[in-house]
Amino acid sequence: MPEKRYSIGEMSEICNISKKTLRYYDSIGIITPCRHDFNNYRYYTKDALLSVLVLKYYKQMGFTLNEMRAFFEGKIPNVYKEISSSFQNKIKELTLAKQEIEHQHASVCGWYDLVHEAEMVIENDIHEISVKYVEPVHLLSLDHTYDNDIKSAIISIDFTNHVENMQNKIVGPVIINFSSFEDRMKDLPQPVRLMQRTLLPCPEEACAVFGGT
């Protein structure tokens, strides 16, 4: 039986893909139509139709068009070995992307909790400070000199650089451990310890314990 031939319009309708996209795939050599010998009319075969569907699966998995080209060209002696290697690389890439998204999610949630807490304080006109027990936790720490500038202590350039030098990321509130309550009440400079939770594990010597009795 003669092979079924599809025009670009039929391919577009059957595969739910625009003609413009099909022409682009043709121009970069991924899915190329055949041509009639006598009138140079372009047509697609059943294999080409199925290739569009396979390409959609590859796109769903996050492969770029350049990565897909090797799969479709068929010029590699062992194409399955090449595909297996590409899949392994893609798995590694997606694993790293997943970790990055998880870190971003944790950071956003941490900031949201702080913003929500501030919102509740303002809405309820809270002026009293409540003290509660905090479970001991190891936090990244850095000794710092407090010079009566609370903003620069909370948003510390030195602490930010310290975190980046350790190739880590921070989340949640900044905790300032003042060495002298009396000096703090008098707004006098004093040694303090800045602490904050990190998203990645830290060496024990870089941490301090916060909370407990």
Same domain for 97 and 50: no
Q: What is the pLDDT of residue 76?
A: 63
- Mean pLDDT over 38-44 rounds to 78
Same domain for 55 and 22: yes
Same domain for 165 and 116: no
Query: Does 3 map to a domain?
Result: no
Q: pLDDT band at 94, cuts 50/70/90?
A: very high
Same domain for 83 and 106: yes
Q: What is the pLDDT of residue 65?
A: 87
What phi and psi values does residue 43 have, to the nearest 5 degrees? -150, 160
Query: Does 2 map to a domain?
Result: no
Q: What is the pLDDT of residue 104?
A: 93
Into how many domains does the chain fold?
A: 3
Cβ-based neighbour number of residue 141 at 10 Å: 20
Same domain for 122 and 66: no
Q: pLDDT band at 74, cuts 50/70/90?
A: low
Same domain for 102 and 71: no
Same domain for 64 and 88: no
Query: Does 1 map to a domain?
Result: no
Same domain for 71 and 40: yes
pLDDT of 72 above 90: no
Q: What is the pLDDT of residue 22?
A: 93
Beta bridge partners of 79: none
| Structural domain for 83, as ranges | 79-130
Q: pLDDT band at 1, cuts 50/70/90?
A: low
Cβ-based neighbour number of residue 25 at 10 Å: 22
Q: pLDDT band at 3, cuts 50/70/90?
A: confident
Same domain for 184 and 151: yes
Q: What is the pLDDT of residue 37?
A: 64
Burial of 146 (0-12, 13-18, 19+ CB in 10 A): buried
User: Domain boundary residue among 75, 91, 121?
Assistant: 75
Lowest mean pLDDT among 71-75, 148-152, 204-208: 71-75
Give the span between the Cα atoms of 179 and 196, in whole angstroms: 17
